[in-house]
Structure formats: structure tokens, C-alpha cells
Amino acid sequence: DGGITQSPKYLFRKEGQNVTLSCEQNLNHDAMYWYRQDPGQGLRLIYYSQIVNDFQKGDIAEGYSVSREKKESFPLTVTSAQKNPTAFYLCASSNRPPFEQYFGPGTRLTVT
């Protein structure tokens, strides 16, 4: 089955620790994205990548980092510099016009 996987589903960390969220897709999509969703709010773009070894900052990139070493994988690191890391993180991918995005199941990160 083609799709996007994210792991883990729930993640708990102590303040001051970096944490890496996994995102893998087997849809052969060129573009991948990371979003953050807070309760009652819309999706906000953190980073996106159109091609391997290239990525661009989104609207709220501060405190986050990404890599795109393989087409299938786009991991997100939430660093200790991110002031409010507790959120629902969603990974997506897309390909070709009209560029509709397909989402993974998300990771709920709680930092205490």
C-alpha cells in the first residue's frame, strides 16, 4: 500500500532535549512538507522540500531543522530552541500539478 508513515504516534520529552520525528513516503512524490497544528488552529508550515538535498523554510521554521537525504524520507528535528514545541506535527507529500497534498497520521509531541 502506498502512503505516508510517521512515527512515533505519541512522543514525550523533557524540556531542553532535541527530538526527531520520522516521516517516510512510498508515493514517489518529489515534494514533502512539515506542518504544525495547535488546538483549534489551522496548519502552519514549518519546512518544505521540493527535491532531494534541498529544503526551504516555511512560516514558522525557528527552532526546527530538517534534512532530505533520500526522496522517501524527510525527518524533522525539534530543537531545544523551539519555545512551544508541544503540538500535533503532520508530514505531507505532493507531486505534479495541482499539487494536492497527502498527509501522514501525525505525531503528537508533548514537552514538559
Partner 1 sequence: RKEVEQDPGPFNVPEGATVAFNCTYSNSASQSFFWYRQDCRKEPKLLMSVYSSGNEDGRFTAQLNRASQYISLLIRDSKLSDSATYLCVVNQSGGYQKVTFGTGTKLQVIP
Tell me, residue by residue from 7 to 36, as one string, x for binding to partner 1 by CB under 8 A and - for no binding: -----------------------xx-x-x-
Residue type, 22: S
What are the beta bridge partners of residue 37? 43, 88
Give Cβ neighbours of residue 56 (< 8 Å, ≥ 6 apart). Answer: 47, 48, 49, 50
Residue among 66, 94, 109, 111 that touches partner 1 (CB under 8 A): 94
- Angle at alpha carbon of residue 71, lines to 2 and 20, rounded to 5°: 90
Task: Kindly state whether residue 102 participates in binding partner 1, applying the rule CB under 8 A.
Answer: yes
Cβ 10 to partner 1, closest distance in Å? 11
Binding-site ranges for partner 1 (CB under 8 A): 30-31, 33, 35, 41-43, 45, 48, 50, 56, 88, 90, 94, 97-106, 108
